[in-house]
Amino acid sequence: MGIKKSVKRVDAVQKATGSAKYVEDLIPVGALHAKMVRSTIANGIVKSIDTTEAYRMPGVELILTCFDVPNHLYPTSGHPLSLDPNHSDTKDKLILERRVRYYGDDIAVVVADTPLNARLAAEKVVVEYEVFEPLLTPEAAVNNPCSLHEIRPNNELSRLDFEISPGGDVRFYNAEFSTDPKIAGRDDLIGVHYSVPTMNACHIETNGCFAYMEGRKLIVCSCNQVPHTLRRNIADAIGIPVGNVRVIRPYIGGGFGNKQDTMYEPIVGLCSMKLGGRPVAITLTREETFVNTRVRHAFDMMIKSEADADGKMTKRGLRINSNGGAYAAHTHAVTAYAITNNFQNYLTSGVQIGESSTAYTNLPSAAALRGYGIPQLSFAMESEMDDIARENGWDPVDFRLKNIQTDGFVDPFDKFVVSSCGMHGCIQKGREVSDWDRKRKAYDEFNKSSDKIKKGIGMACFSYKTGVWPIQIENASCRIMMNEDGTATVQVGATEIGQGSDTVLTQMVSEITTIAEDRLTLVPFCDTDTSPYDSGAYASRQTYISGGAVKQTAELLRNKLLARAASVYDLPIESLTIADERILDKESGQTVCTFAELCTFMNFTNDHVTETEHIIAESTFTAQSICFSYGVSFIDIEVDVPLGKVKINKVYSVHDSGQILNPALAHGQLHGGIAMGIGYALGEQLLFDQKTGKPLNNNLLDYKIPTAMDMPEVETYFVETYEPTGPFGNKGLAEPPLIPQAPAIRNAVLHATGVGIRKLPMNPQNLVHAFIEAGLIEA
Amino acid sequence: MYDIKTTYNAKSVREALRLLSENEGAVIVCGGTDVMIRIRELKLRRATLISILDIPELCEIHLDTNEDLLIGPGCCFAAICGNDLIRAHVPMLADACNQVGSPQIRNIATIGGNICNGAVSADSVPALMVLDAMLELTGADGSRVVPIREFHTGPGKTVLKADSEILTCIRIPRAKYTDHGGCYLKFGMRNAMEIATLGCAVNAALTRDGTIRDFAIAFGVAAPTPLRCPEAEALMVGKKATPALIRELRKAVLLETRPRDSWRASKELRLQLIQELSERATVQAIENCGGEIHV
Amino acid sequence: MFKTVRMTVNGKAVELAVDERESLTDTLRERLGLTSVKKGCEVGECGACTVLIDGVSKNSCIYLTVWADGHEIITVEGIRGKNGLLHPVQQAFVDEAAIQCGFCTPGLILTGVELVNSGKKYSRAELRERISGHLCRCTGYENILRALEKVVGSESD
């Protein structure tokens, strides 16, 4: 088979039959269970903890409090180590915290024989606090005298401020925190305010892990997207050598970035160590998974762009104030991604200024979540594009086509030259399949005579980077071992989280070696003691970076097989080639030997002459490249104005992810991303009590992810380009599909009703209020 | 694992009542979709549960000799939705029951539980209210009958004596379904797995010339308890349904409802929904009994 | 307190002493090793723990094991054919790329089996409604609907 074919998932049968094991399925019989004691205030200090009564509860084996843990800070974000201190992750977390920074912060842990006993005992832990006022927004937190972290006394975790010259040079500077509509204090950049809420990934498997010891080795099994980085963070948190930690990563029930960070692995590890290596497990409840893992940043954005009479962009200004929550995690990087993307999508001739701030606040920590800041940015950027088009009477598609990034574009920040821009093709395709031009007119006509039901069609496009070079190292490794029957076993450090990387990486090996996918075994679990290194699943990098490692290693293997055959059969290597798991004579096409014959011979020949060998190839691939994926969504809707309800008739989604290596799985990524984007657009938001910071809707009933009845019909397309830096011309795909949905729906609502929404989600609550304000509903 | 002290499985109403009297603080559980969640949240501790899931007499749906429709409170929503008598006589109730939670929830959650937990958002209750349903509450000394309009006393509170009574029958009078048309509209933020932001039920009957002869309207989540709007109803009876009358109805229901602000929905949104759903449910109910809006 | 429960699990009669505080999810996973029964919320909102009880899909997380006495339970481990072949619903999920992370998959497949056993055919709108008690965050439900249409779709034959 090989690439560019809809090979069935290598893990499909395991998952369909229930034999695929996830972390909770692997908890050893007799393991102890940990329950966190969580703060019931959002901001303050733990003055004392009394565990006397808790220790008397049945089944309790151990209680650790914030007064018992190692007193050194560690980073939680799942990035590869950066040797450049300017890009290293912020160390701001202890395993348990005396300084309470959000409602539900980890202040103690109870370990008992059953989850119920741990829970009942955890309730009995008595905590005395010194209470401070919760600071829930950047506006409240930045420059407030109550510092959340010593390392950032004014509660501003990071800034990224810059001006881009017309020649593309970037001048960085440091601005002051501001909420003023004037961007960078300039009278010619008076922004319009957009806001997007906190959201959660809602992978169906909640976060969980367990730890036990074998000799000096601490073994931690976790549903984590970046096992090798997790290993380092655990070692760092507990204060033991990296070599004493072994991380096992089984099947993962969805991650979307929310399983990239180090969460409860250090605490179960520490508990196990204190209990002589007995297994200790923690499985977060759904309620905890919502607020005690990571969330998508809420952003306040002030945006101002302008175009000249010809519809060419002349000016771009944006300020982002990002709510980073209690701990740094990825926060600075997410905001940096977002602020820079406003200056990448469209070519702009004049002034371009970006200012961004990320604040520490008393809310759950914000970090990576499918799209890494771009869904937030895109809502403001793409909404504004439609507003500009509307003000000038331009067609929103035509207006974008005049300004979009094209081949030859030099990214002002990472200084690479774009050479596979399919944005134009995506937009044209979307325009055609969605019947845009006809519907724009027909719906205008329809709306003239329809008061309650309004029809609209809107669109939005995006560009999104694959990988994170040059900010961080981008490397990955692969090992392929031949078996004597000509089958092979593939080991990668890449992480399958549902996106299909195990399948596509297997296809790549097949493509290069000719070994059929069903004769290849890609080891599904990652084990840091045996799996080769990989930075893990993020930045839509697995097929691009890990794929590079797999391709390179498979080529090494192919060359090795040819070399061994040349040697065994005493033929010139140049005369040989491979096909159908055989070594062939290039000219005659005659079979020299099968892989099975060659491997059997190499493995088992018992003489003094043959240098027997278990044929293995292994290599590390380091990328010195990055690229953009592109795409567009056209969305056809009806608005029930009096009820504030948006009904989506159809989503037309067109993407450029370079060469598509497995069409069936690739379309599946689009479907899922569209669903998540629709959730973000129409319903999802994590709510907190504004006085106490207590979460209000951290459950799947009150937090509205789409059900099958909320999903519209979707049509998905790819416009295939060839990205020269991708192993097979491919680019990232997993994250982008979410990005354009919210602004496309917003722009369709604008088309339908004339009302430009500037706040997510566009749920009935917010829409009815907006329609009342606009006079569409009589108050 | 739940914080449960002990469980009983009653095989008859009499046994359930006996167990209730013998176990202080015991809780009746049927489908468990509310009770189990309360236990998980530790709102109920060291629970003693008396299951009435296996009592056949509570799971019947049939016509009484006077053709009143009798519904066993132990019927799960799926059973009600799929029942021929219900679909023939009170399709509105089938519609309401079909909008509860999800298919798996409807396969076990019961209409009796929906009523007895006193939730203001219970989907079946507005429908039963406009049908003038009567509830039979049985204790050790016999039964009493309470109109569902008088059953709810506050959020999560009802007249049921939870330590000594069980809801044993729901009676829908023949007069309230014969020649009537009904409609229940649930408004939620999404289309499944949803708790009502607002629910509105209308039950109407017309004379031959299209005059409204009977009209009932009830709401969920429009006040601290599910409620009927008698003054708005009186406004409608004896008149023909016209756009002007419906505009009056939209205003009238606002005077009898008391929606509140919560993080789930603002008062402003609920006021808008009350008006809009009143209109839509009324138009649909009138169509369902063969009438039309007279322009 | 422990109680004895007699039930049929995946076609086999079992007699078990269970803690009466156990949910059916707990018992199936921890006493019988049937880990296809997943825990996603434990309050009946996600559908990952769905099993068939007497052929009807129910959330096993909010169902006490003691209530299963005398009943027949099916999990995904119990639906393969005698010859080891995948059930048609499983095969359709594999063929239509309806599986991504796989965590919601066993529950959805059981709802599919329930639909097959009904003997009825379903439109796409009906299928959306029938699977609305299963939350999936990966697939947007699109390929799940395609898989189910292949087996029980009213437009499939």
pLDDT, tens only, A136-155: 999 999 999 999 999 999 99
Rounded to a whole number of angstroms, the distance between the first and last alpha carbons of chain A is 63
Q: Cα distance from C53 to chain B (closest Cα, Å)?
A: 10
> Measured between alpha carbons, how far is residue B40 from residues A14, B1, C42, C61 in Å?
32, 9, 9, 11
Domains defined along chain B, listed by start:
4-51 (3.30.43), 56-175 (3.30.465.10), 179-288 (3.30.390.50)
- Compute the half-sphere exposure of residue A205: CA atoms within 13 Å on the CB side of its CA: 33
Please provide the CATH number assigned to the domain covering C88-152: 1.10.150.120
Fold classification of A475-622 is: Aldehyde Oxidoreductase; domain 4 (3.30.365)
Quick check: helix, strand or coil at residue A405?
coil
| Out of A37-46, A96-105, A381-390, A465-474, least confident range | A465-474
Cα–Cα distance measured from residue A368 to residue A76, given in angstroms and rounded to the nearest whole number: 12
Please provide the CATH number assigned to the domain covering A374-469+625-773: 3.30.365.10
Whether residues A203 and C137 touch (CB distance < 8 A) is answered with yes
Peptide bond preceding A181: is omega within 30 degrees of 0, i.e. cis? no
Domain ranges of chain C: 2-78, 88-152
Q: Cα distance from C69 to chain A (closest Cα, Å)?
A: 23
pLDDT, tens only, C8-64: 999 999 999 999 999 999 999 999 999 999 999 999 999 999 999 999 999 999 999
A117 interfaces chain C, CB cutoff of 8 Å: no
β-strand pairing of A313-323 with A298-307: antiparallel
Q: Which of A673, A676, A700 sits opposite C41 (nearest CB)?
A: A700
pLDDT, tens only, C74-121: 999 999 988 889 999 999 999 999 999 999 999 999 999 999 999 999
Q: Where in chain A is the domain with CATH 3.90.1170.50?
A: 12-132+207-283
Quick check: helix, strand or coil at residue A750?
helix
Cα–Cα distance measured from residue A422 to residue A463, given in angstroms and rounded to the nearest whole number: 10
Cα–Cα distance measured from residue C116 to residue C129, given in angstroms and rounded to the nearest whole number: 15
Look at residue A385 in the predicted model and tell me its pLDDT. Answer: 98
Say if residue C156's pLDDT is above 70: no
Whether residues C63 and B32 touch (CB distance < 8 A) is answered with yes
Amino acid identity, position A40 = T
Query: Best mutation site among C7, C46, C58, C127 for testing chain B: the one with the most B CBs within 10 Å?
Result: C58
Q: What is the dihedral of CA A610, A616, A622, A625, to 10 degrees?
A: 100
Contacts of A763 in chain B (CB under 8 A): 189
- Mean pLDDT in residue range B234-258: 98
Conformation bin of residue B112: beta by default, left when phi > 0, alpha when psi is -120 to 50: alpha
Say if residue A681's pLDDT is above 60: yes
Cα–Cα distance measured from residue A335 to residue A354, given in angstroms and rounded to the nearest whole number: 11
Contact A665, C11 (CB under 8 A): no
Look at residue A86 in the predicted model and tell me its pLDDT. Answer: 79
- Confidence check on the interface: ipTM exceeds 0.90, yes or no: yes
A652 interfaces chain C, CB cutoff of 8 Å: no
β-strand pairing of C12-19 with B227-228: unpaired
Q: Which of C37, C76, C135 sits opposite A705 (nearest CB)?
A: C135
Q: In what order do the strands lie in the sheet with B142-147?
A: B61-63, B69-71, B166-172, B134-139, B142-147
Look at residue A399 in the predicted model and tell me its pLDDT. Answer: 98
pLDDT, tens only, A410-438: 999 999 999 999 999 999 999 999 999 99
Say if residue A569's pLDDT is above 80: yes
Whether residues C137 and A675 touch (CB distance < 8 A) is answered with yes
Look at residue C157 in the predicted model and tell me its pLDDT. Answer: 46
- Mean pLDDT in residue range A561-589: 97
Contact B30, B16 (CB under 8 A): no
Contacts of A120 in chain B (CB under 8 A): 3
pLDDT, tens only, A65-124: 999 999 989 999 988 988 888 788 899 999 999 999 999 999 999 999 999 999 999 999
Q: Which residue in chain A is spatially nearest to B190 when comparing CA positions? A: A710
- Mean pLDDT in residue range A228-238: 96
Q: Which of C39, C46, C109 sits opposite A24 (nearest CB)?
A: C39
Average pLDDT in chain A: 97
Q: C127: burial class by Cβ within 10 Å (0-12, 13-18, 19+)?
A: buried
Contact A621, A476 (CB under 8 A): yes
Instruction: Give the pLDDT band of residue A330 (cuts 50, 70, 90).
Output: confident
Please provide the CATH number assigned to the domain covering C2-78: 3.10.20.30
β-strand pairing of A627-640 with A453-466: antiparallel
Q: What is the dihedral of CA A117, A120, A124, A129, to 10 degrees?
A: 110
Say if residue A403's pLDDT is above 90: yes
Residue indicated by tokens 């009770």:
B35
Residue indicated by tokens 């596979």:
A420
The pTM of the full predicted model, rounded to 2 decimals, is 0.98
Q: Where in chain A is the domain with CATH 3.30.365.10?
A: 374-469+625-773, 475-622
Homologous superfamily of the A12-132+207-283 domain (CATH): Aldehyde oxidase/xanthine dehydrogenase, a/b hammerhead (3.90.1170.50)
Look at residue A614 in the predicted model and tell me its pLDDT. Answer: 95
Contact A477, A549 (CB under 8 A): yes
Q: Cα distance from B71 to chain C (closest Cα, Å)?
A: 21
Amino acid identity, position A714 = V
pLDDT exceeding 90 applies to what percent of chain A?
96
pLDDT, tens only, A269-327: 999 999 999 999 999 999 999 999 999 999 999 999 999 999 999 999 999 999 999 99
pLDDT, tens only, A455-501: 999 999 999 999 999 988 999 999 999 999 999 999 999 999 999 99
Contacts of A661 in chain C (CB under 8 A): none
Looking at residue B149, the DSSP 8-state letter turns out to be G
